[in-house]
Structure 1
Amino acid sequence: MKPSPGYGLLALAALALSGWLLFGRAAKIPAAVVMPATSLSVETVQPRREDWPQERVASGALAPWQEAVISAETGSLRIASLNADIGDRVKQGQVLATLADDSVLAEENKQKAAVAQALAQLQEARSNARRAALVGQSGALSEQQLEEYRVKVQTAEANLAAANADLRTTRIKLTQTRIVAVDDGIISARKALLGDVVAAGAELFRMIRDGRIEWQAELDAQQLSGVQAGQPVRVTLPGGTQVEGRVRLVSPVLDSKTSRALVYVSLPVSSMARAGMYASGRIELPGRAALTVPDTAVVLRDGRSYVFVLGQDMHVSQQGVEVGRRRGQALEIVGGLAEQARIVRSGGAFLSDGASVTLVGSEAQAR
């Protein structure tokens, strides 16, 4: 069946109308706004001003506070007994060893006899002098003879004094056969051997006075600034045990070879510190104001430290900073950052300079 000419015109009119409607509707639809893509959703934080204690980090050896050497004061005697060994805690005056005293006792008896003899001679001289004085009154003895009797009395008195001195010397030697502790402490070394014949001055024992151990921290000239007696110290022993101590004194001179000075730190007697250990520690100085940020906000790149500062346009800028002390999970910023700056708290490693970000958390709601 052949379509009529009127039907074709009607179809063309319908197509024209639909095209006009589509074109007009498209002209009224606004173009889509293209939003820049964000790099990361972040949370920001401002630096805080806090009062942080200053610290001096050092290392050094543990050594006795003071050592005492216990030696034989008399010689040529045999060690008869040993009453102390390494590690024993002893009291002042406690007997550590004894020397054979047979020969000294015999010498003491001899000196006692010498004293008795000198005393008898003195009594005889005095008696003779008294009789001579009576006879001299009658003129039977000359003045020279009387003077001789008086001199004999003085000589007898001197002989008695010398005999008494020798007896005291022997008795002192007898007391020296008992080797005693010179102070309270811990025996750290023993060279005495049972049966050994010792010489005068030979070392028999060595002890740590009061059992006190101290840390000898090594500091250079710059670190010494501000370190004073009485400041608290935290010492970390091998194995991780921490001991609290205090600065006892600071050496007034530096070693010419190492350019370091020793800081002597007293430690508690009951601690696990032992002489010969090597430990590290921190000396706490008076507090100083610090501008701090979370350690997660600082990014290390190419050997330098950076933070990302958020601008008003929601773009971040990479900014170099100088990092100082660390305390817990916070870092001190000593340069390169304004106190009013808003920096990215974490995730800076995924950002680049000029990146666009969005805020999350309470800050996003505040905006």
Structure 2
Amino acid sequence: MSKLTQLLIAIFLLSGCSKAPETATVELPKAVKYQRVSESTGSIYREISGQIRSAEQSSLSFRVNGVLQDIYVSKGDLVVTGQPLAQLDDSDFTVALNKTQASLGSSRASAKAANDQLQRATRLPEGIISLAELEQLSNNAEAALQQVKVIEADLARAKLELQRTILRSPFDGQIAAVSVDNFSKVSNGQEVIELIDGDAYEVEVLLPESMIGNISYQQAVTVAVSALQDQMFPGEVSEIGSRVENGNAFPVTIRLNKSSDKLRNGMSGSVKFTVNNSSVPAYLVPLTALDFTHSMAGEGSQDALLYVINEQTMVLEQRNVKVGNIRANNIEVYAGISENEAIVVAGIPFLRDGMTVTLWQAN
């Protein structure tokens, strides 16, 4: 092998063993879309779900025992005040009434005879009848008169019980349910028909203690009914409970100012309250700015995460914030951020705490 060949081989081996210089990888700051926090000047809203029910509903029953003879209505029928709804077999009540009337006639005749006897005795010359006999006749006449009064009361009760064999509507409304069948035996006070006022509805909701102080009587609200394509009904607060019923919640009743023939008992209604509480600032933040999957408070909380830009260092700071209701594409935030801070509103899953960023500028 020639010297030239040996020299070329040595140069090749030396060049193969040398390392190529490494190029340092530098992470460039990520450009992020941002928005400045501004306090919401509009009203703060709360939506609480409840169940719609008739504002006036009655469980109707007979006030006497008997056998049901006729039911004149069916579920869903509209009725008016005084309209007969059902009737018991009144034959026994009619017999009792006739018997009492006969007793009254006999008692009145006896009372008249006793009174006539007393009057004749008082007209007799003095000494013909003793004072004791005269007093006895007076007592007999008075007893007969009292017996008449007792039977007159029995007659009035018999007439009333006969009237009570007919169940009438106490107000204009709609039949919600019929609980018994014809020819069944019913007892005094047993529910026969449920009647509701189809022109007046209300919603009962449970408000947390944090809200109850901001609610007042006759406060205007709106109720959205999901079963009617979220149709809105105006209403007002008619009752405010003074005692906790469930957890830390108070019962509040909303009276609807407008009705509809499509409303039914048991439908769900979402009541929107306006809470005027200036001591609690609310900020409207885009939904895209929040991460609800890794909130620090755990599942089921009203917390979420977002990123605030430190404009001095251009480093992201992860914040845990308290959120409220959703308004269109925004959500209310009550704690964790301040007015005029810059927050990231896009690309949240690709960010991390402490990341260096730049502000994205639209061309």
TM-score for both structures, normalised by structure 1: 0.72
CA distance in 2, matches of 1:358, 1:163: 99
What residue identity is the alignment partner of 1:359?
A: Q
Verify: 1:354 aligned to 2:356, yes or no: yes
TM-score for both structures, normalised by structure 2: 0.73
CA distance in 2, matches of 1:241, 1:178: 42
CA distance in 2, matches of 1:165, 1:276: 46
Aligned to 1:70: 60
Task: Give per-residue Cα distances to partners, 1:118-149, cap 9 Å, x unaligned.
Answer: 222222222221211111x3421111122122
- 5+ unaligned residues in a row in structure 1: which ranges? 1-35, 362-367
1:252 pairs, out of 242, 245, 259, with 242
Contact 2:54 2:198 in 1 (8 A): no
Verify: 1:216 aligned to 2:204, yes or no: yes
> Post-superposition, which runs of at least 4 consecutive aligned residues in structure 1 deviate over 6 A?
348-352
CA distance in 1, matches of 2:226, 2:189: 37
State which drifts further: 265-274 or 98-107: 265-274
Aligned to 1:298: 289
How far the C-alpha of 1:180 sits from its partner, in A, is 1.0
Matches within 5 A, 1:1-367: 40=31, 45-76=35-66, 78-135=67-124, 137-209=125-197, 212-231=200-219, 232-238=221-227, 241-244=230-233, 245-255=235-245, 258-267=247-256, 268-270=258-260, 272-278=262-268, 280-286=270-276, 288=278, 290=281, 292=283, 294-295=285-286, 298-300=289-291, 302-303=294-295, 305-307=305-307, 309=309, 311=311, 316-321=314-319, 322-325=321-324, 326-335=326-335, 337-341=337-341, 353-357=355-359, 359-360=361-362
Contact 1:228 1:249 in 2 (8 A): no
Name the SS of the counterpart of 1:73 in structure 2: coil
Structure 1 residues 297 and 177: alpha-carbon distance in aligned structure 2, compared to 1, 3 A threshold: closer
How far the C-alpha of 1:160 sits from its partner, in A, is 1.4
How far the C-alpha of 1:71 sits from its partner, in A, is 1.3
How far the C-alpha of 1:80 sits from its partner, in A, is 2.3
How far the C-alpha of 1:175 sits from its partner, in A, is 0.6
State which drifts further: 92-101 or 180-189: 180-189
Q: Give the structure with higher Rg (CA).
A: 1
Structure 1 residues 37 and 348: alpha-carbon distance in aligned structure 2, compared to 1, 3 A threshold: same
Structure 1 residues 297 and 311: alpha-carbon distance in aligned structure 2, compared to 1, 3 A threshold: farther
Contact 2:285 2:333 in 1 (8 A): no
CA distance in 2, matches of 1:86, 1:92: 17
- 5+ unaligned residues in a row in structure 2: which ranges? 1-26, 296-303
Structure 1 residues 222 and 310: alpha-carbon distance in aligned structure 2, compared to 1, 3 A threshold: closer
Name the SS of the counterpart of 1:132 in structure 2: helix
How far the C-alpha of 1:162 sits from its partner, in A, is 1.6
CA distance in 2, matches of 1:293, 1:138: 108
